[in-house]
Amino acid sequence: MPEYKAPLRDMKFVMDELLDMQTHYQSLGADECTEDMVDAILSEGAKFCENVLAPLNRVGDEEGCTWSEDGVKTPTGFKEAYQQYVEGGWPSMTCDPEYGGQGLPASIGIAVSEMVGSSNWAWGMYPGLSHGAVDTVEMHGTEEQKQTYLTKLISGEWTGTMCLTEPHCGSDLGLLKTKAEPNADGSYNITGTKIFISAGEHDMAENIIHICLARLPDAPKGTKGISLFIVPKMLPNEDGSVGERNAVACGSIEHKMGIHGNSTCVMNFDGAKGWLIGPENKGLNCMFTFMNFARIGTALQGSSAMESSFQGALTYAKDRLAMRSLSGPKAPEKAADPIIVHPDVRRMLLTIKSLGEGGRALAYLTAKQADIVKSPNSSEEAKKEADELLGFLTPIAKAFLTEVGFECTSHGMQVYGGHGFIAEWGMEQLMRDVRISMMYEGTTGIQALDLLGRKVLMTQGEALKRFTKIVHKFCKENEGNEAIAQFVAPLAEHNKEWGDLTMKIGMAAMKNRDEVGASSVDYLMYSGYVCLAYLWAEMAKVAQEKLDAGTEEEAFYKAKLQTAKFYFDRILPRTRAHAVTMLSGAENLMDMEEENFAFL
Amino acid sequence: MPEYKAPLRDMKFVMDELLDMQTHYQSLGADECTEDMVDAILSEGAKFCENVLAPLNRVGDEEGCTWSEDGVKTPTGFKEAYQQYVEGGWPSMTCDPEYGGQGLPASIGIAVSEMVGSSNWAWGMYPGLSHGAVDTVEMHGTEEQKQTYLTKLISGEWTGTMCLTEPHCGSDLGLLKTKAEPNADGSYNITGTKIFISAGEHDMAENIIHICLARLPDAPKGTKGISLFIVPKMLPNEDGSVGERNAVACGSIEHKMGIHGNSTCVMNFDGAKGWLIGPENKGLNCMFTFMNFARIGTALQGSSAMESSFQGALTYAKDRLAMRSLSGPKAPEKAADPIIVHPDVRRMLLTIKSLGEGGRALAYLTAKQADIVKSPNSSEEAKKEADELLGFLTPIAKAFLTEVGFECTSHGMQVYGGHGFIAEWGMEQLMRDVRISMMYEGTTGIQALDLLGRKVLMTQGEALKRFTKIVHKFCKENEGNEAIAQFVAPLAEHNKEWGDLTMKIGMAAMKNRDEVGASSVDYLMYSGYVCLAYLWAEMAKVAQEKLDAGTEEEAFYKAKLQTAKFYFDRILPRTRAHAVTMLSGAENLMDMEEENFAFL
């Protein structure tokens, strides 16, 4: 099993040196977030992840969760780790101080979540899902609902879930059938079956608060007739203590490819008591308000997995001996050279490294926008701008980072050769765990439609321009900077091409709406590679400046420049394929008759 | 679980219409291989695979193999299926008639293996590994060894293994330690530990014949001191019956990501009795003589998995309802449209279909060369030519088809959305099972070095030219063919570029040997895409001719042309990325100091 070591140096590089979070925290009015304070949080988080969560990662995979009539048992150690997490005050870190939260910026939470995710993603989903429930109640709950539920969710005493998916519908929630019938006392009886409910039932907390989508009796059809309900597993007493059992139960848990440590439940609501949260029939809108944030959380699964995979692969590549370097022995005293001398092994390692570090930068940049959106200190203009940037970057971060995250866990396995296939090494678990991230919280296809259809084309390209302007400004400012010209020039070309491609797709889409879906995933991947190119150019600039100024950490900054070079040389050219493919038209997809796909 | 239906129509298209196997079989002198006869074999094989093997695929995954002191138990039904397989005469199909084989061409065996592989890869590995043992004894065994072992292996009464890998070495067999000490009676005592031995121990047959690599006491170091030994699990009596137990045993079975139904064994040789096969210290050379063929078998795992994944994904895409087509409802009578109306779902389906059908063509083309090499009827010149083509195509088929096979099983899962992650649907098993194919029988990196280093550069490009000449001839012949010009023109461009890229890499490699490893995997993937482009152009030509001539199967041939168009529009452009990347130089890989890969 690869040992996890939190990459604090690189996290701090992104936070302090690339994104200047210190200035950012001051502008949010978060004066308590001094560098020392943030460092202390990250160090404490690192210890917890390295020492408590990481050792449970394989346990969780091997044992999985077990269902019985009495409930779901989580793997050995999961419950105790959660207790420690609660005692450490981690659940409340970024939550509203009025209800017991610590009110820290979301971006600090994201940094901690990355470490949790790298060390044990399946475990991290329990508090992760709670966070979704917290956001919903915080934004849409009544004061009474907040008093009853929010305090306990924020403290971590209770956990929460998001009950959206049903057996026949996931991406298309307009089809959902779960019904909510009003009672005389203002509550509702919720009846229906929900599936894929992460952390739907478990033994970590005394109560579980389900945020459940359902239809009122007279609701309009489709997505405009969906309302949101709070459905607690145990009905709370007046004094806030846990009372009677509600009529909601886990029918079974799914057998899945990965994230075995997380209980993925079929939840049966049999006239369970629930309370409306937010306005009637506006449930989906309420969900959308925090979906961007939930999706950054999923994007993190991609970058977290890249970090773990990289650490595992690097260790092995330095240890394992096989063959001699083609350019002459590098470890003549040994029976063979360590495989890190071989160019193709380095290609795999650097692919993971460049996408992983670039991915971290993208996730944190996105979280920075979320900070601004959420802060009462932000001006309306700053909020609007950050919100639009957040909306643009989120589908890219979610889909691109999970796609390349999956790819990179495969490279990590490949470095091990046949051993990568063997469970003991832990590399194959990383791949099985991360594979879901391309599907839940909106598949890559859904994210791509959100990006190209809703965010870019529906704004006549404004959302894209907001970002390309930032890139353009960077390129202009660094036009004469010879040291990083090798990055700035191709970045500027891509930045221009991005707009051109968008224009062409927009024109084609006016004639045929299928052109959007036909080009969307290529467009999204292209966008992801350009976003990372921008971030690598920025990182290269920072590194070059440090080197020019003289630094004790020369090796660190030199490695940043080398990784940037690798990214531009060997990863960015993938845009050449996507640029051609996205313009190839919808006909090559749509012309084939349904019955002619196979002749069996 | 996706139901498997043998794609006989497409298999016959490749065999009869694309590769003209009938003429080929006649030139081999295999007159018994009439179209009717081949059809009958394929139909019988299809029935066995659809009815017996496919239903055991998930059983094998769920149960796995179980180890005890007494041996390894295979999953429920595996043993009985093997019995049926033996009774049906399948093991002997392509083997030497002198020892009980039916002497059919290898390419027919490959077609049957494809069906076995699509329906249950883990099961298919038991007879598959036997085949390796058969080839070894057939080619290098003494008459006595053939009489003792070959007959029983060919009949399927006994099975075989290949014992190469040791804990500390896989790709680099020069490091192997297992030793062979001569006895006075001409036998040897074999001592050492072998790992990853597929089908190393099981309950399907009364004896298991291990072909084991070991070192003689006075053997030179490295790969030049390796010899090959036959080590039976049960020592055969004079009369050929099974006698005493030999000192070779399975120490444990591996816990793996996939192919759970196959017993992957740690084999302990504790002074086990063995007999030298082939000349002393020439073990590796003996292995190489049939390795090409074993690698076509592994290439098949990629194309087999694509077929299964495609069938599963297509069924779901037609059934599952979600959202409306962007260009207007396609199934207004239903609550939503089936997802096959969405362009991005089609993109995934057609990606699998075009790579899967193209992959089949490549595997069969490669097998056709193996037929020629093996046939006593082939002229020396034909043999030489086929052998060189086989050597060139094999690493491409092995690595490229397993890489895209893995990619395609991921697309197949993705079509299912979240359901793809759930074991019951069977789509995630396909991915877990196929992942090993990129590692065993030589990793993708090893294949790429074999292709670029050994096959292409060491022959001064001759091996490549042999193939590009074939492509060039095709392009010349079809220059004026307007109907397929959309395929011929880009194919000709790629064919030329392929040579140019090779030349550039060759020049760079003369200055720096690391350039070979730095460009090899990109070169291999590029080569794979061009090979499939050639085959798709050929297939398009066949289809166009059938349509021009008038046919009852218009839909079938139209779909071929549409799939070819998809391939050229949306898959072939991937070469744009590889072409740039492979020329980017070794520095971006080699410059980073080993200790600077991470700062943890």
pLDDT tens-digit profile of A273-285?
A: 999 999 999 999 9
The answer to whether A208 touches A158, Cβ cutoff 8 Å, is yes
Domain B287-448 has CATH 1.10.3720.10: no
Would you say residue A508 has pLDDT above 90? yes
* Residue B422: closest CA among A195, A588, A145: A195
Q: What is the mean pLDDT of residues B94-119?
A: 96
Percent of chain A with pLDDT over 70: 99
Q: What is the mean pLDDT of residues A557-571?
A: 98
Element (H, E) at B4: none
Residue A237 burial (CB < 10 Å; 0-12/13-18/19+)? exposed
Return d(Cα A555, Cα B360) in angstroms, integer: 49
The number of beta carbons lying within 10 Å of the beta carbon of residue B444 is 24
Return d(Cα A165, Cα A593) in angstroms, integer: 30
The answer to whether B301 touches B258, Cβ cutoff 8 Å, is no
User: With bands split at pLDDT 50, 70 and 90, how would you rate the model's confidence at A4?
Assistant: very high
- Note whether A439 contacts B445, CB cutoff 8 Å: no
Phi, psi of B207 (to 5 degrees): -150, 150
3-state secondary structure of A94: coil
Q: Which two tokens stand for residue A425?
A: 């090494």
> pLDDT tens-digit profile of A113-124?
999 999 999 999
CATH no. for B8-140: 1.10.540.10
Residue A573 to residues A178, A491, A496, A579, B575, Cα–Cα distance (Å) = 47, 11, 15, 10, 10
The answer to whether B43 touches B9, Cβ cutoff 8 Å, is no
Q: Are strands A264-277 and A248-253 parallel, antiparallel or unpaired?
A: antiparallel
Q: Kindly state whether B276 is in contact with chain A, defined as any CB-CB distance less than 8 angstroms.
A: no
Chain A residue numbers with beta carbons less than 8 Å from the beta carbon of B574 are 577
User: With bands split at pLDDT 50, 70 and 90, how would you rate the model's confidence at B2?
Assistant: low
Would you say residue B1 has pLDDT above 60? no
Chain A residue numbers with beta carbons less than 8 Å from the beta carbon of B353 are 597-598
Percent of chain B with pLDDT over 90: 97
Q: Kindly state whether B331 is in contact with chain A, defined as any CB-CB distance less than 8 angstroms.
A: no
* Residue B5: closest CA among B337, B280, B243, B310: B310
Return d(Cα A344, Cα B179) in angstroms, integer: 32
> pLDDT tens-digit profile of B187-222?
999 999 999 999 999 999 999 999 999 999 999 999
Q: Can A160-285 and A287-448 be said to share one CATH topology?
A: no
Return d(Cα A242, Cα A235) in angstroms, integer: 6
> pLDDT tens-digit profile of B123-133?
999 999 999 99
- Cross-chain CB nearest to B326 (options A311, A432, A513): A513
What's the pLDDT at A327?
Answer: 87
Instruction: Write down the mean pLDDT value for chain A.
Output: 96
Return d(Cα A187, Cα A246) in angstroms, integer: 13
Would you say residue B554 has pLDDT above 80? yes
> pLDDT tens-digit profile of A299-326?
999 999 999 999 999 999 999 999 999 8
Q: Which two tokens stand for residue B248?
A: 């070779």
* Nearest-5° Cα angle at A14, A13 to A20: 95
Whole-structure pTM value: 0.98
User: Please, what CATH class does the domain formed by B160-285 belong to?
Assistant: mainly beta
Q: Kindly state whether A510 is in contact with chain B, defined as any CB-CB distance less than 8 angstroms.
A: no
What's the pLDDT at B288?
Answer: 78
What's the pLDDT at B287?
Answer: 83
> pLDDT tens-digit profile of A125-135?
999 999 999 99
Q: What is the mean pLDDT of residues B333-341?
A: 97
What's the pLDDT at A247?
Answer: 98
Structural domain boundaries of chain A? Answer: 8-140, 160-285, 287-448, 460-588
Return d(Cα B553, Cα B87) in angstroms, integer: 37
Q: What is the mean pLDDT of residues B15-42?
A: 97
Interface of B with A in 534-593 (CB under 8 A): 555-556, 558-559, 562-563, 565-566, 569-570, 573-577, 580-581, 584-586, 588-593
Would you say residue B21 has pLDDT above 60? yes
**What is the 3-class SS of B59-95, one letter each residue?**
HHHHHCCEEECCEEECCCCHHHHHHHHHHCCHHHCCC
User: Which of A444, A570, A582, A590 is the best substitution to test chain B (most B C-beta atoms within 10 A)?
Assistant: A570
Residue A244 to residues A232, A235, A238, Cα–Cα distance (Å) = 10, 5, 12
Would you say residue B106 has pLDDT above 60? yes
User: With bands split at pLDDT 50, 70 and 90, how would you rate the model's confidence at A357?
Assistant: very high
Q: Kindly state whether B472 is in contact with chain A, defined as any CB-CB distance less than 8 angstroms.
A: no
How far is CA A485 from its chain centroid?
Answer: 32
> pLDDT tens-digit profile of B392-433?
999 999 999 999 999 999 999 999 999 999 999 999 999 999
The answer to whether A451 touches A515, Cβ cutoff 8 Å, is no
The verdict on whether B441 is a catalytic residue reads yes
Q: What is the mean pLDDT of residues B561-575?
A: 98
- Note whether ipTM > 0.90 here: yes
- Note whether A596 contacts B555, CB cutoff 8 Å: yes
Would you say residue A203 has pLDDT above 80? yes
* Residue A210: closest CA among A324, A132, A320, A271: A132
> pLDDT tens-digit profile of B57-86?
999 999 999 999 999 999 999 999 999 999
Would you say residue A394 has pLDDT above 70? yes
The answer to whether B414 touches A444, Cβ cutoff 8 Å, is yes
User: With bands split at pLDDT 50, 70 and 90, how would you rate the model's confidence at A1?
Assistant: low
Return d(Cα A445, Cα A459) in angstroms, integer: 20
Would you say residue A578 has pLDDT above 90? yes
Nearest CA of chain A to the CA of B514: how many Å? 6
Return d(Cα A547, Cα B346) in angstroms, integer: 50
Chain B residue numbers with beta carbons less than 8 Å from the beta carbon of A413 are 435, 439
Return d(Cα B164, Cα B159) in angstroms, integer: 17
Return d(Cα B521, Cα A563) in angstroms, integer: 19
- Note whether B559 contacts A592, CB cutoff 8 Å: yes
What's the pLDDT at B175?
Answer: 94
What's the pLDDT at A81?
Answer: 98
* Residue B392: closest CA among B450, B438, B437: B450
How far is CA B572 from its chain centroid?
Answer: 22
Q: Which two tokens stand for residue B404?
A: 């895209």
Chain B residue numbers with beta carbons less than 8 Å from the beta carbon of A586 are 343
Interface of B with A in 410-429 (CB under 8 A): 410, 413-414, 417-418, 420-424, 428
Return d(Cα B464, Cα B481) in angstroms, integer: 26
* Residue B487: closest CA among B530, B527, B523: B530
Return d(Cα A549, Cα B180) in angstroms, integer: 63
User: Any long-range contacts for B66-73 (C-beta under 8 Å, 24+ apart)?
Assistant: B66/B253, B67/B250, B67/B252, B67/B253, B71/B201, B71/B202, B71/B203, B71/B250, B72/B200, B72/B201, B72/B202, B72/B203, B72/B250, B72/B253, B72/B263, B72/B265, B73/B202, B73/B203
Would you say residue B526 has pLDDT above 90? yes
What's the pLDDT at A291?
Answer: 76
Instruction: Write down the mean pLDDT value for chain B.
Output: 96
Would you say residue A289 has pLDDT above 80? no
- β-bridge partners, B234: B245
> pLDDT tens-digit profile of A25-37?
999 999 999 999 9
Residue A33 to residues A41, A103, A105, A378, B151, Cα–Cα distance (Å) = 10, 11, 9, 16, 78
